[in-house]
Structure 1
Amino acid sequence: MTTPSEVPAMQERLLDVQGKKIFVAETGQGAPVLLLHGGGPGASGLSNYSRNVAELAKEFRVIVPDLPGYGRSSKGIDPTDPFGALAAGMRGVLDRLGLEKAHLVGNSYGGSCALRLALDTPERVGRMVLMGPGGIGTTRALPTPGLNSLLDYYTGEGPSRKKLEKFIRDHLVFNAAQVPDSIIDARYHDSIDPEVVAAPPLKRPKSLRTLWKMDFTRDKRLNRLVVPTLVLWGAEDKVNRPSGGRMLAERMPNCDLYEVANTGHWVQWERADLFNRLCADFLAGRR
């Protein structure tokens, strides 16, 4: 299993995208693949995909951005259309890299970004892998305990290591013992960046219009989206309900669903070997 120290040498840069800075790291050669990370406190591209980059880079040009609002990218995101803002930012990354098309791999918030990018501009997407994406049926049921924990992180008494540890160990993964303290420490450090605290990139929508805009099952374009898609969903996901995977498989005309047993919200980390194999085979058309 790959550890951060085994990730191959990266080319790192800040791209100017729509007046903001987007941090991008990349390595490997082949068809371009964007790895889009989740939206939990302190998340970033390289930390989210620390167990996947090296394996995927054996076959693909792996591009790992920090989404707007996270990591080394500029802070602040449009609260009236968060998914649209993320998608526009990543489309800008493709433009700056001179890429007409790329494969997309998205976990949680990054999965929402990937799906919105594909809906808005399907011609820019080759294949797509989604792991427990947000925005699937979210207006049809109350938020999960995991999602409430995530959205409450910057509210109340504010961010704390205790709140972050509870979110990660109780809601993010199936086996809490797998998560080392070092991951919690690093993510807590990044989560209390003053710019992030001042403008959290993921928070509760303030209007019903925004909320409905963030539920993909209410977007009629989903039924016509023919981008080949593989959905991987942890059967024990406590953040986004696994039933979301079946919703996507029922609506999207070219969508495969793989529900992963004994796995929570972080499929690419908890089941890295399985994820790396399935992801590489699917993106290469070897399914």
Structure 2
Amino acid sequence: MTVNGLNQTYLKVADINLYCEYILNNKPPILLIHGFASSTYTFRRIIPFLQKQYSVIAVDLPGFGKSEKSTSFIYSFQNYAKLMIECIHQFGYSNTHIVAHSMGGQIALNMALIAPEKINKLVLLCSSGYLKRAKKFLIFTSYLPYFEKFVHYYIQRKGIKLHLRNVFFDQTLINDELIQEFGKPLNEKGFYKALIRLLRHREGDLLPKQLWDIHVPTLLIWGEEDRVVPVEVGQRLVSDLPDAQLITYEKTGHLITEERPELVFNNIMMHTF
């Protein structure tokens, strides 16, 4: 199936059904990895630019978007990273550029730690960093029968519009389409089961001593008004990664691909070519 010039398919990777959008055009490959509670929709405004210069592969991570909400997958960054590496192989590539947003940044960094030869360059957009694993008490509580209802209530109580206000600097960009698309996962029962498994299995973000071992050239792009992952995280990452540079945008929030798609694309081009 093709929508807006992109092919849509499901790949079976490590017994997980992964939803993918892609266009292969004999140009250098680039893999897009979205963040927490998001999907390939995150990159909808930047893909039209990217596909002119790259073969583009965008994947919904297990537990999110249209991909399987598995109740057997171990939702750790390492396992996510291994899945993405295998995904690259299934598309016939031995290596790729990576653009990753928010939590996807930790997945991309894990890929760079596990298999640096598979990654040409990294572009991390408002990447998560330095978060510790969930506290043992919270992990224990997640096994109690009522916990799924608690998670459902906690996420639903503010409504998707308030969540979107937190990730945008320019509030005028929030429209009915965004509210509908970002709200879809919240109505899926399987989403909350996957979320709980992510809480249990997600190891802490990479430590500085692990980041020191990542020598893949890395570009960090940040919104200076990011309220989800403050720009100070980017400043720490650029000091801990051996081959990294940081670019920041004024009057820009966390969902940087929505607010500055063309500028992000231009910076990707400068970094990867």
Calculate the TM-score normalised by the size of structure 2: 0.85
2:32 pairs, out of 31, 35, 43, with: 35
Specify the alignment match of 1:12 in structure 2: 8
Asked whether the equivalents of residues 151 and 192 of structure 2 are also in contact (C-alpha less than 8 Å), the reply is: no
Specify the alignment match of 2:142 in structure 1: none
SS at match of 1:155: helix
What displacement does 1:198 show? Answer: 2.8
Specify the alignment match of 2:159 in structure 1: 163
Specify the alignment match of 2:175 in structure 1: 180
SS at match of 1:168: helix
Q: Give me the whole-angstrom Cα distance separating, in 2, the residues matched to 1:33 and 1:122.
A: 15
Q: Give me the whole-angstrom Cα distance separating, in 2, the residues matched to 1:92 and 1:219.
A: 26
What displacement does 1:51 show? Answer: 0.6
Specify the alignment match of 1:99 in structure 2: 93
Residue type of the alignment partner of 2:18: I
Q: Give me the whole-angstrom Cα distance separating, in 2, the residues matched to 1:154 and 1:274.
A: 40
Seen in structure 2, the aligned counterparts of structure 1 residues 215 and 117 have a Cα distance that, compared at 3 Å, is: same
C-alpha distance after superposition, 1:97-129 (max 9, x if no partner)? 121101110000111111111111111101110
Specify the alignment match of 1:215 in structure 2: 205
Residue type of the alignment partner of 1:246: Q
Seen in structure 2, the aligned counterparts of structure 1 residues 110 and 268 have a Cα distance that, compared at 3 Å, is: same
Seen in structure 2, the aligned counterparts of structure 1 residues 200 and 156 have a Cα distance that, compared at 3 Å, is: closer
Q: Give me the whole-angstrom Cα distance separating, in 2, the residues matched to 1:153 and 1:234.
A: 34
Residue type of the alignment partner of 1:261: E
Q: Give me the whole-angstrom Cα distance separating, in 2, the residues matched to 1:222 and 1:158.
A: 33
Asked whether the equivalents of residues 81 and 214 of structure 1 are also in contact (C-alpha less than 8 Å), the reply is: no
Specify the alignment match of 1:22 in structure 2: 18
What displacement does 1:154 show? Answer: 6.6
Q: Give me the whole-angstrom Cα distance separating, in 2, the residues matched to 1:78 and 1:263.
A: 38
1:58-73 aligned at under 5 Å gives the runs 58-73=52-67
Q: CA RMSD in A?
A: 2.5
1:242-261 aligned at under 5 Å gives the runs 242-261=231-250
Specify the alignment match of 1:127 in structure 2: 121
C-alpha distance after superposition, 1:175-205 (max 9, x if no partner)? 22211122112221232112113322785x4
Residue type of the alignment partner of 2:204: M
What displacement does 1:69 show? Answer: 1.0
What displacement does 1:12 show? Answer: 1.6
Calculate the TM-score normalised by the size of structure 1: 0.81
Specify the alignment match of 1:145 in structure 2: none
Asked whether the equivalents of residues 16 and 70 of structure 2 are also in contact (C-alpha less than 8 Å), the reply is: no
Specify the alignment match of 1:143 in structure 2: none
SS at match of 2:87: helix
What displacement does 1:245 show? Answer: 0.8
Asked whether the equivalents of residues 111 and 130 of structure 1 are also in contact (C-alpha less than 8 Å), the reply is: yes
Residue type of the alignment partner of 2:100: G
Percent identity at matched positions?
27
* Structure 1 gaps, min length 5: 1-6, 141-151
Specify the alignment match of 1:267 in structure 2: 256
C-alpha distance after superposition, 1:156-185 (max 9, x if no partner)? 62543842211111x111122211122112
SS at match of 1:224: coil
**Alignment pair present for 1:195 and 2:184:** no
